[in-house]
């Protein structure tokens, strides 16, 4: 969905996040039958779109903020 905001925060359950992660990377959601892209409870993921429109996940379910 088109949005001009610089940062967007999404809070969700792991199963829904798996589907979102796959779609963000341009994968078919059926690909999740062959791999896992799930989010763990409390984990933070960083997703970016570069200037070429390429979607990138730089952190997936990161817990470093807890330290």
pTM, two decimals, is 0.71
Helix residue spans in the chain (DSSP H): 14-24
* Spans of the chain below 70 pLDDT: 1-3
Q: Report d(CA 4, CA 63) in Å as an integer.
A: 28
Sign for the CA dihedral angle at 38, 13, 65, 45 comes to positive
pLDDT digits (tens, 9 = 90+) for 21-36: 888 899 988 888 888 8
């Amino acid at each position: 969905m088109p949005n001009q905001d610089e940062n967007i925060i999404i809070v969700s359950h792991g199963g829904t996040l798996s589907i979102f992660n796959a779609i963000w990377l341009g994968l078919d959601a059926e690909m999740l039958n062959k791999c896992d892209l799930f989010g763990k409870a409390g984990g933070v993921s960083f997703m970016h779109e570069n200037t070429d429109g390429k979607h990138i996940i730089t952190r997936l379910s990161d817990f470093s903020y807890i330290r």
